[in-house]
Amino acid sequence: MIKKLGAILLVITLFSCSSSKPPMISEPMYDVLFGSEYGGASFQFYEIVSDEKEFNILLTDDMIKPYVKKEDIETCNFILVNMGEKKSGGYTLEVQKVEELADKVIVTLKEIEPKGVATMAVTKPCYVIKIKSKKPIEIR
């Protein structure tokens, strides 16, 4: 009886000390820090900000500086996206996928056109995206 009880306690102890871990909750590779229908450039372009000199320019922009910290440049890159001049409001940008590879980060972006009635005014949408990696960025 004592041997049986000892065996049962041993089995319970082994199962309670198993090496299974709870699932990891992964943090997204990016944050959209800023998006606005106004304030962008008249033409469509994006710029990758990865060095301190360019980053310091972001820190002086009144629209962007509330969303970035000086130490971010040590661990992150940033993408400035200007969607160009649009004839109405309602245009947005969607980050479809951010994939980190061994040598780079691939960012897939998609322009979303307005659905239904939109503001009938010229807009210049722009976005700032923080990529949580210092690897080179490829935009698709």
Tens of pLDDT, residues 110-123? 999 998 887 889 99
- The closest of 76, 88, 95, 93 to 133, measured between CA atoms, is 76
Paired residues of 32 in beta bridges: 129
pLDDT of 5 strictly over 90 = no
CA 39 to chain centre: 21
Give residue 40's identity as a one-letter amino acid code.
G
| 16: helix, strand or coil | helix
Beta bridge partners of 30: 131
DSSP state of 26: P
pLDDT in tens, 77-131: 999 999 999 999 999 999 999 999 999 999 999 999 998 887 889 999 999 999 9
Q: What distance lies between CA 42 and its chain's CA centroid?
A: 25
| Furthest CA-CA distance within the chain | 85
Banded pLDDT at 39 (limits 50, 70, 90): confident
On the question of pLDDT at 9 being above 80, the answer is no
| Bridging pattern class, strands 92-100 and 30-36 | unpaired
What percentage of the chain exceeds 70 in pLDDT?
81
pLDDT of res. 130: 95
Q: List the chain domain ranges.
A: 26-139
CB atoms closer than 10 angstroms to residue 123: 22
